[in-house]
Amino acid sequence: MPNRVVAADVFTSQRQHLWDLCYRVTGSASGADALLATCFSRTVDQPGEPDDADWRALLVQSAAMLAVETLRQRKHRKYVGPWLPSLIETGNAASTGPRPDDSRSQYDLVESGSIAFLRAMEALDPRERLMFVLCDALGHDPVEVASTLDVPVTSVRVPLQTARRTMEHYDSTNAPPTREVQARTAEALHHCLSHMEQHHAGALERMCTADVEALFDSAGEFVAPLGPIRGADRVGRLLVKFVEASPPLKFSFCMLNGLPAALGTSTGRPRWAERFVLRVEARGGRISDVHVILATAKLAAVRFD
């Protein structure tokens, strides 16, 4: 019993850190919630742990292994339509930009929880993603990670270096969600919605980059395109059609994953979502990405009230 009490205290103090780890590895907010409960029970119910056990290391090890296994299972399941990470509310938080030279984290928590960052990590295999999140997003030293996971240091450093090379494209093409980026995105989002509501496809086309991409994530639950829509003219027409075909829409705004997003609600009808999120990302003053998230599970952490 004393061990369980101590473990519970450590778990409470480390809960956010463990959740951040699980969410960034899996891309799922509800999954991270479930993993935390399993992580605690699995760790404290291990027989034979000494009184002076390093509960923080044991909890991180348990969370890491559970998150990797969950990611592997997701990767092996067929997903209907484009996959996007689930959304989380981030309030007034903004990225501070480049990390200080003396910081072990290469990315702050706002950037490493952004949709662009989470999508970029989809190119990593589960082990690479885990090491990248632990070391470059959460600031663990590779030697510390090796000790915590009970693996050789090379088993950390090799996948970490591979992950860093893969993420170089993200580093060269994406800007952290700083206050300035948030303001520019908010302006682009408001103009986008205004043109949608006015059914002005031409104005939407002019707002977009030539290679703009629109993704609709409904997980097969609602009516939505089953693949990416690319090109300014096609995306402009599609967004107008989306508004025209939907029941009357109402929008409010919220900061999700470091950037402003529009929360859409409607009266709904069969196979149409009553709630969804529309978000945009901009490059060079023009919209480069449009995401419409409709899948119920992806919106579990978003308050529509």
**CA-to-CA distance for 174 and 198, rounded, in angstroms?**
30
| Residue 48 pLDDT | 59
**Degrees, nearest 5: CA angle 215-27-222:** 40
The confidence band for 132, taking pLDDT boundaries of 50, 70 and 90, is very high
The confidence band for 262, taking pLDDT boundaries of 50, 70 and 90, is very high
| Residue 41 pLDDT | 84
Q: Is the pLDDT of residue 158 over 70?
A: yes
Q: Is the pLDDT of residue 72 over 60?
A: yes
Joined tokens for residue 256 = 């999700």
| Residue 247 pLDDT | 72
| Residue 61 pLDDT | 94
**Degrees, nearest 5: CA angle 27-28-29:** 125
| CATH number for region 104-174 | 1.10.10.10
Which residues on adjacent β-strands are paired with residue 283? Answer: 286
**CA-to-CA distance for 20 and 137, rounded, in angstroms?**
10
Nearest Cα neighbor of 184 from 80, 285, 63, 49 is 285
| Residue 269 pLDDT | 72
End-to-end CA distance of the chain: 42
Nearest Cα neighbor of 258 from 196, 170, 187, 180 is 180
SS3 303: coil
Tell me: the pLDDT tens digits for 270-281?
Answer: 788 889 999 999
Residue with tokens 């960052």, as numbered in its chain: 117
| Residue 268 pLDDT | 66
Mean pLDDT within 62-86: 96
Q: Is the pLDDT of residue 193 over 90?
A: yes
Please report, for the chain, the start and end positions of each structural domain, with discontinuous segments joined by +: 1-77, 104-174, 179-299
Joined tokens for residue 272 = 């149409």
Mean pLDDT within 151-170: 97
**CA-to-CA distance for 210 and 288, rounded, in angstroms?**
8
Q: 13 phi and psi, to 5 degrees?
A: -70, -25
Which residues have C-beta within 8 Å of that of residue 254, sequence separation ≥ 6?
A: 89, 260, 261, 263, 302, 303
Q: Is the pLDDT of residue 175 over 80?
A: yes
The confidence band for 232, taking pLDDT boundaries of 50, 70 and 90, is very high
| Residue 246 pLDDT | 73
Mean pLDDT within 179-196: 96
Joined tokens for residue 144 = 């510390």
| Residue 1 pLDDT | 46
Specify the CATH number for 179-299; select among 3.30.470.20, 3.40.50.720, 3.10.450.50, 3.30.530.20: 3.10.450.50
Q: Is the pLDDT of residue 227 over 90?
A: yes
| Residue 6 pLDDT | 79
Tell me: the pLDDT tens digits for 79-103?
Answer: 999 999 999 999 999 998 766 555 5
The confidence band for 36, taking pLDDT boundaries of 50, 70 and 90, is very high
The confidence band for 46, taking pLDDT boundaries of 50, 70 and 90, is low
| Residue 144 pLDDT | 95
Q: What is the mean pLDDT of the chain?
A: 91
Q: Given this structure, which CATH class describes domain 1-77?
A: mainly alpha
